[in-house]
């Protein structure tokens, strides 16, 4: 196949002349599209620039001209204010640069707000619904030229861990946006268990190679891949399918945002599923816990992990018996005792328990009641900081938790059942597991109500 000044070929000629049917495609950027104005019919403009479109072609359209045609040019003396208006969630921030989730569900720099190639004092927003825009262009080309084509609307993205920009799909119609190879096998017969190809993004990147960023050719055509174009009555997949579900997104936040969100997500969970807890996740949370500050360069934390049902039952049964005995000594009625004991069900129903302990190794003894009490308080504060780190890290592992103080009221019992050294002071118990339901919304607290300035 011979290239021209406006086309390229997706595969070279075969090195072996005897080889049959080498897969290949052609991609080019038609010339002749005028400057797009609000209200323009993009399908008719594209049809005029590329009248030779045929069934099975894929038309790749830069989102900028879609936005212009749809009147998404807005006055904005302050681009930052426009970004704020389009932002749903800040993912990461460094200086003036913001990576955000925008109202279309896309995670990208500056919410896709573009101040280039627009008149001073204006910015260009992304299409309101890029998938709907793609469907409209596809329908318009079918009406104008009588052809069944796929349409991909693209925008430029940076990517985590990779330098440079590339075009990706933000809207699609008439194409299979994903090619799910899971369940198949490779050339060696090895099962494919995780391979899902982002076909629409590959099309977007191919089109960008010929469109360029400043050539005045905002549309590309790919020919030779008709197998990914759906039938006339089938709109195919949507670009929304390319956006990873938040629950499966391991890299949803930047570092500082992840810390803040983990702190916010740290909630007391009182109902857990039966799903087993990954011991590795708990150990990673312990690793975070022991980074907390502590006095005298000490390490006052110990975490006892109750991973077997038997160990949990022995501890909780012994604690229940000790609690009942205390309540009876206090003269509580049997009905009152039963009600109070039921409050401990949060620990009994959790699939995993952790008992954080305080150790005073490295502490100073002054022989002065006031100073010795303050010394212990420093170690208690450090232990609390470690437990807070632990709880926040569990939230980051998508594990719910509840820190319950009950072991502090029967430390001797806990030490005996768990066979702990005499110098280990149990500082409550942490129930760990997958939350059985979404926690209730937390009432907002104004930090100013907790601040005194001198």
Q: Which CATH superfamily is domain 23-72+126-248 in?
A: CofE-like (3.30.1330.100)
How much of the chain is helix, strand and coil, in % rounded to 5? 35, 20, 40
Rounded CA Rg of the chain: 31
DSSP string, 127-175: PS-HHHHHHHHHHHHHHHH----EEEEEEEEEETTEEEEEEEEEEEESB
Return the closest-CA partner of residue 207 out of 337, 326, 62.
62
pTM to 2 decimal places: 0.65
Q: Residues 144, 48: contact at Cβ < 8 Å?
A: no
SS3 at position 99? strand
| 179/182 Cα distance (integer angstroms) | 9
Q: Report helix, strand or coil for 137.
A: helix
- Cα dist from 286 to 255, 281, 309, whole Å: 19, 9, 21
Tens of each residue's pLDDT in the chain, 454 residues: 333 445 555 544 444 444 455 689 999 999 989 999 999 999 999 999 999 999 999 999 999 999 999 999 888 777 888 899 999 988 888 777 888 999 998 999 888 998 877 778 889 999 999 999 999 999 999 999 999 999 999 999 988 888 999 999 999 999 999 988 877 877 888 887 777 889 999 999 999 999 966 678 999 999 999 999 999 888 888 999 998 887 777 777 776 666 766 777 788 888 999 999 999 999 999 999 999 999 999 999 999 999 999 999 999 999 999 989 988 998 989 888 888 887 767 899 999 999 999 999 999 999 999 999 999 999 999 999 999 999 999 988 889 999 999 899 899 999 999 999 999 999 999 999 999 988 777 788 888 999 999 9
Query: What is the pLDDT, as a whole number, of residue 418?
Result: 96
- For residues 104 and 130, give the distance between their C-alpha atoms in angstroms, rounded to a whole number: 8
Closest by CA to 177, choosing from 197, 157, 159, is 197
The residues with which 169 forms a beta bridge, in sequence order, are 154
Q: How many helices (H) and strands (E) does the chain have?
A: 12, 18
Going by C-alpha positions, the residue among 411, 410, 415 that lies closest to residue 324 is: 410
d(CA 21, CA 184): 23
All CATH 3.40.109.10 domain ranges of the chain, comma separated, are 255-450
Strands (E) in 36-110, as ranges, are 58-62, 73-75, 87-94, 97-102, 107-109
- Candidates 3.30.450.20, 1.20.58.220, 3.40.50.300, 3.40.109.10; CATH matching 255-450: 3.40.109.10
Q: Rounded distance, CA 114 to CA 351, Å?
A: 50
Domain with CATH 3.30.1330.100 in the chain: 23-72+126-248
For 406-409, the CB contacts below 8 A with 24+ separation are 406/319, 406/323, 406/344, 406/347, 407/319, 407/355, 409/322, 409/323, 409/326
Query: Residue 319: in which H helix or E strand, if any?
Result: helix 309-329
- Supply the DSSP string of 382-413, one letter for each residue: HHHHHHHHHHHHHHHTT-EEEEE-GGGG-HHH
Indicate the helix (H) or strand (E) that contains 83.
Answer: helix 79-86
Burial environment of residue 142 by CB neighbours within 10 A (0 to 12, 13 to 18, 19 or more) = middle
Total Cβ atoms within 10 A of residue 328: 12
Alpha-carbon gap, residue 313 to 188, rounded angstroms = 50
Q: How does DSSP classify residue 439?
A: P
């Amino acid at each position: 196949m011979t290239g021209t000044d406006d086309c390229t070929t997706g595969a070279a000629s075969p090195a072996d002349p005897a080889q049959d049917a080498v897969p290949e495609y052609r991609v080019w950027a038609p010339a002749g599209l005028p400057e797009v104005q609000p209200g323009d019919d993009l399908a008719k403009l594209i049809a005029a620039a590329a009248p030779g479109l045929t069934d099975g072609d894929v038309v790749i359209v830069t989102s900028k001209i879609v936005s212009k045609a749809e009147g998404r040019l807005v006055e904005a003396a302050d681009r930052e204010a426009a970004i704020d208006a389009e932002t749903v969630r800040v993912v990461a921030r460094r200086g003036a640069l913001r990576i955000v989730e925008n109202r279309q569900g896309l995670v990208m720099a500056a919410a896709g707000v573009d101040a280039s190639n627009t008149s001073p004092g204006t910015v260009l927003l992304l299409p309101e619904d890029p998938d709907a825009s793609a469907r409209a262009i596809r329908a318009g080309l079918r009406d104008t030229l009588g052809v069944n084509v796929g349409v991909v609307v693209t925008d430029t993205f940076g990517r985590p861990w990779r330098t440079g920009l590339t075009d990706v799909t933000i809207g699609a119609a008439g194409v299979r946006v994903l090619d799910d190879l899971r369940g198949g096998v490779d050339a060696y017969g090895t099962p494919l268990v995780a391979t899902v190809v982002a076909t629409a993004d590959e099309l977007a990147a191919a089109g960008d190679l010929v469109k360029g960023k400043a050539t005045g050719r905002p549309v590309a055509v790919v020919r030779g891949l008709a197998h990914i174009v759906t039938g006339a009555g089938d709109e195919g997949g949507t670009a929304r399918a390319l956006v990873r579900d938040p629950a499966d997104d391991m890299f949803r936040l930047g570092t500082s945002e992840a810390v803040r969100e983990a702190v916010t997500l740290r909630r007391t969970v009182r109902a857990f599923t039966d799903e087993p807890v990954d011991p590795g996740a708990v150990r990673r949370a312990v690793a975070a816990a022991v980074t907390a500050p502590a006095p005298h360069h000490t390490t006052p934390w110990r975490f006892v992990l109750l991973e077997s049902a038997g160990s949990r039952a022995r501890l909780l049964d012994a604690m229940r018996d000790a609690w009942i005995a205390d309540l009876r000594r206090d003269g509580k009625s049997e009905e009152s005792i039963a009600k109070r004991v039921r409050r401990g069900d949060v620990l009994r129903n959790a699939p995993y328990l952790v008992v954080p302990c305080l150790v005073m190794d490295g502490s100073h003894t002054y022989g002065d009641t006031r100073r010795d009490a303050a010394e212990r308080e420093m170690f208690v504060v450090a232990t609390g900081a470690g437990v807070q780190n632990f709880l926040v890290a569990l939230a980051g592992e998508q594990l719910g938790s509840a820190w319950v103080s009950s072991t502090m009221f029967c430390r001797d019992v806990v030490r005996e059942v768990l066979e702990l050294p005499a110098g280990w002071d149990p500082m409550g118990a942490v129930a760990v597991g997958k939350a059985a339901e979404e926690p209730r919304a937390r009432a907002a607290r104004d930090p100013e109500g907790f601040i005194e300035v001198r």
